[in-house]
Amino acid sequence: MEKMKDSAYINREHNNTCERHLERKQNYMQASYVTLRQIFMLLGAAFHIVDYNVSLRKMKSTRTMLRIFKTKKIVAYKHALYRPLANGR
């Protein structure tokens, strides 16, 4: 009986930890998503290269943004895109 109680307690603790971790991850994703997207729009507007048909799902991906900027041979993209992430952490 004691053993079952222990495992139930351990499972509950584990689930709590997972939920907290997930929550923190989602908050971080949200924060960086907004910042990155704004910067992407600003840079894009400055260089006239934004493809406004890029879906929101794709916009969320930093890698996609970097690829777009790389193909356009923009040197400043790295600096501008990585800075907000560093601050967000």
Domain chopping of the chain, boundaries = 2-88
Q: Whole-prediction pTM value?
A: 0.25
Distance of CA 24 to the CA centre of its chain: 12
Residue 37 CA to residue 72 CA, distance in Å, equals 17
* 63 or 88: which leads in pLDDT: 63
pLDDT at 48 over 70: no
Asked if 51 and 58 touch (Cβ cutoff 8 Å), the reply is: no
The residue among 12, 16, 80 whose CA lies nearest residue 45 is 80
Which residues touch 89 (CB under 8 Å, ≥6 apart)?
28
